[in-house]
């Protein structure tokens, strides 16, 4: 990952979406795009696009726009996607299976290296060629293998103890899928996938749209 100044977290959160759109443009063979065209496709303003790219030092040229390949690679550099992060999954239930089978990780720079669980009957099985290892072996595993990120797909009542186990073993990044929100600390970074939050926003927008169509 190249050295960059720390970007504002709001810009960082928007960047993956730009990256996805730039990838699609690249796949379509489009080599340059204006902030207006990109904004139109994404449903944001051209000035938002220019502001966000300017914040990490990428400027389009007047009358030319942005170079799609260059801009996409710049985002890959900022996010360290060419480094291939090593991810382990804790919890081989349905969600753990779904993550292990998800095809989008490796091409985006994330390698699922192992899955941990505690059910004796599934230890040694493979999901998408990734081995299920007993959680008792976690310490041994992290001594022998570099791990960047732990995805936590364990039952809600287990998530606090598992988060402690994982961080006690030196893993610094938690990708938490349980409804319990884990908080970051000085040396642990956390992303919480709160599925209910997204559903609440969807329901709100649905009711608002219905109210507009049926005003009485």
Residue 106 found at the interface with a copy of itself (CB under 8 A): no
Cβ–Cβ under 8 Å, residues 54 and 78? no
Candidates 45-53, 58-66, 81-89, 159-167: pick the segment binding a copy of itself (CB under 8 A). 81-89
Residue 80 found at the interface with a copy of itself (CB under 8 A): yes
CA distances from 77 to 4, 121, 152 (A): 9, 42, 26
**Binding residue count for a copy of itself, defined by CB under 8 A:** 65
Residue with smaller CB distance to a copy of itself, 64 or 170: 170
Q: Which of 49, 71, 95, 147 binds a copy of itself (CB under 8 A)?
A: 95
Q: Residue 128 has what DSSP assignment? A: T
Q: Considering only residues 150 through 179, tell me which ones interact with a copy of itself, judged by CB under 8 A.
A: 156, 172-173, 175, 179
Residue 211 found at the interface with a copy of itself (CB under 8 A): yes
Q: In this structure, is the dihedral angle defined by the CA atoms of residues 183, 189, 195 and 201, taken in order, positive or negative?
A: positive
d(Cα 48, Cα 149) in Å, to the nearest integer?
Answer: 31
Cβ–Cβ under 8 Å, residues 94 and 155? no
Residue 119 found at the interface with a copy of itself (CB under 8 A): no
Range 95-106 burial, b when 16+ CB lie within 10 A, else e: bbbebbeeeebe
Cite the annotated binding site by residue number: 91-96
Residues that bind a copy of itself (CB under 8 A): 1, 3, 6, 12-13, 15-17, 19-20, 43, 78-81, 85, 87, 93-95, 97-99, 101-105, 108-110, 148-149, 156, 172-173, 175, 179, 181, 183-184, 187, 189-191, 193-211, 213
């Amino acid at each position: 990952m190249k050295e960059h100044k720390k970007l504002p977290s709001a810009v960082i959160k928007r960047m993956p979406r730009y990256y996805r759109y730039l990838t699609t443009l690249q796949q379509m063979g489009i080599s340059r795009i204006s902030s207006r065209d990109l904004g139109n496709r994404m449903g944001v303003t051209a000035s938002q696009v220019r502001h966000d790219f300017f914040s990490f030092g990428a400027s389009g040229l007047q009358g030319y726009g942005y170079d799609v390949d260059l801009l996409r690679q710049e985002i890959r550099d900022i996010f360290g996607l060419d480094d291939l992060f090593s991810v382990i999954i804790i919890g081989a239930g349905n969600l753990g299976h779904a993550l292990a089978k998800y095809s989008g990780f490796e091409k985006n720079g994330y390698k699922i290296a192992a899955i941990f669980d505690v059910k004796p009957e599934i230890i040694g099985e493979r999901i998408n060629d990734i081995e299920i290892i007993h959680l008792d072996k976690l310490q041994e595993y992290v001594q022998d293998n570099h791990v960047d990120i732990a995805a936590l797909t364990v039952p809600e009542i287990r998530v606090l103890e598992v988060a402690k186990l994982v961080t006690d073993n030196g893993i610094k990044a938690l990708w938490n899928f349980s409804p319990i929100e884990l908080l970051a600390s000085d040396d642990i970074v956390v992303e919480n996938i709160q599925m209910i939050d997204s559903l609440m926003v969807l329901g709100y927008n649905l009711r608002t749209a219905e109210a507009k169509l049926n005003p009485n």
